[in-house]
Structure 1
Amino acid sequence: MTALPLASRTRRAALVSAMCAGLVAGGAGLTGCSSEDPDAGTNGVGKLPAAKIQTKSSAAAEGASAVRLSGTVVSKSHTYTLDMRVKGEGGTGSVTSKGQTFQLLRIGEQLYLKADSAFWTHENGKGGGGKSKRADETAAAKLDGKYVKVPQGDPAYQQLSGFTDKDVLLDGMLTLHGELAKGDRGKTGSTRTIKITGDEGAGGTLDVSLDGKPYPLRLERGGHAGTLKLTDWNKDFALEEPGKDEMVDYGKQLPTS
């Protein structure tokens, strides 16, 4: 076959390109005319099976120095609203449960809890009245806005410290249950993402970044157990121990009524 002259090949290529552009613009949407690669410029995880995407996302999360988690978590019929920043050395932020909001700060093994007087009255009150109620209110007023050091032997320590532990939070929350499948591409904010699901969404849904490292960015927990955003990956933050005038240390046990 005689090769076409260069000028003819150029004109033909231009004609085909123009036809494709016209068809797409006209709504025909012929895939044979499109050369756009949805994975162009991404980290490439969108090409992988769902299980490998989860593995790479978990590895990226584990290797990150810090992260911020915000949203809701439902556990044992209780709903917690979190806004926590965590890293290897500890964490800080707020937790809301049963209409009460408290601040948590952990530095190493030292855990501090700060809340207003209403929180402590709610915790300690048993529905009594008279002098007992007034005594509770007086004691709670002294704790208003103070950091209370949580003893490591107190039952509350294990529960509350989990909110400040990066590994505990991520290991417990990022697991999808059931058969994994790859979903649609989309965006979380301005970041391109790929969605993976467990058990067609009943076991959870995770949006994984296609830009940069494949960090998990948004999690819908299975069983309607809450929704979390994961942001500020690798952004460091300060952890400063409260001053003596800001702190109350009850020794081996938190105050009880």
Structure 2
Amino acid sequence: MAAVCAALAATVAGCAEDPDAGTNGVGKLPAQQIAAKARAAASGADTVRLAGKLVSQGGTYALDMRLAKDGARGQLTTKAASFQLLRIGGALYLKADAAFWAGEKGVAGSGSAAKLGGKYVKVPAADPVYQRFSGFTDKDTLLAGLLGLHGELTTGDHGTVGGVRTVQVTAGSGSGGTLDVSLEGTPYPLRLQRGGGTGEVTLADWGKSVDLKAPDQGQVVDYGKKIARGGGGRGNGSGSSSG
């Protein structure tokens, strides 16, 4: 009888120590499969909120973006300025203060900058400003760059992100990035720590509705091709966060 009780106690203890007990089972898979399932889950979701800091082409960006398949809205902050981005389909709007526009080449004088400050400036697709920042509003492009871990993948620690149980996938012993994948429900990626100290972002609110509404016409300035003529100005960098 004592032997039976001991065996039962050992079994119960073993179950209690199983880090994957009561999860979606992803943590038991090889690291490559965990990463693949996370990418598939991210690709299949219509929306996500992405927040944190990224280093891209020498610039550091703090971002808080709500991304959808057909657009996005949120805030981007560089060392020099902070501004709002809104994209609906192919239409990109940028809302910043006069100081931001005063620093853009092609904006003639403080008077013009003052007229743009606090307005939603509609940016033409061929303009350097569009090319510089539109990538931060493109869900598929942004996630493809972020979730592409570089190096040999290994399964890391179990933990939590925002109260959700996770398992880590580490690339190149950490030099290629570390991804925390949800062990609850759909295996969404919930946090990415990029290699080389080039940023950390959290990914939340998967599948939640994103309000994409065009600004009132009275708040919109269609500035044509005059913005940042010649490609200069602040915030040099690309919306693509890969590399």
Structures share a fold, TM > 0.5? yes
| Counterpart residue number, 2:54 | 73
Cα offset, 1:70, TM superposition? 0.4
For structure 2, the residue ranges without an aligned partner over 5 or more in a row are 231-243
Counterpart of 1:54? 35
Aligned residue for 1:121? 102
Q: Which residue of 2 aligns with 1:236?
A: 209
Q: Is the 8 A contact 1:192 1:209 kept in 2?
A: yes
Higher relative contact order (CA 8 A, sep 6+): 2
More helix by share: 1
Q: Which has the larger radius of gyration?
A: 1
On the 8 A contact 2:128/2:229 being kept in 1, the answer is no
State the secondary structure of the residue aligned to 2:104: helix
**1:159 Cα shift?**
2.2
Identity of aligned residues (%): 55
Q: Indicate if the aligned counterparts of 2:76 and 2:82 stay in contact, CA closer than 8 A.
A: yes
Following TM superposition, the consecutive aligned residue runs of length 4 or more in structure 1 with deviations greater than 3 angstroms are 11-18
Aligned position for 1:136? 109
**Cα distance, 1:15–1:228 mapped onto 2, change above 3 Å:** closer
Structure 1 residue 40 displacement after superposition: 1.7
Q: Which residue of 2 aligns with 1:110?
A: 91
Residue equivalent to 2:66:
85
Counterpart Cα distance in 2 of 1:157 and 1:225 = 23
CA contact (8 A) 1:73 1:226 kept: yes
C-alpha distance in 2 between matches for 1:16 and 1:91: 56
Moved more, 32-41 or 78-87: 32-41
Query: 1:124 Cα deviation (Å)?
Result: 3.8
Structure 2 counterpart of 1:181: 154
Using the alignment, how far apart are the partners of 2:42 and 2:223 within structure 1?
Answer: 36
Residues paired across the two proteins, number: 229
- Aligned-pair CA distance for 1:122: 2.1
Residue pair 1:84, 1:91 contacting (<8 A) in 2 also: yes
2:221 aligned to 239, 248, 257, which one?
Answer: 248
Is 1:153–1:253's contact at 8 Å kept on the other side of the alignment? no
- Partners of 1:137 and 1:110 in 2: CA distance: 26
Q: TM-score, normalised by structure 2?
A: 0.88
Superposition pairs for residues 129-168 of structure 1, below 5 Å? 136-168=109-141
| Structure 1: gaps of 5 or more residues | 1-8, 21-30, 127-134
Q: Is the 8 A contact 1:46 1:210 kept in 2?
A: yes
Q: Distance in 1 between matches of 2:205 and 2:184?
A: 14
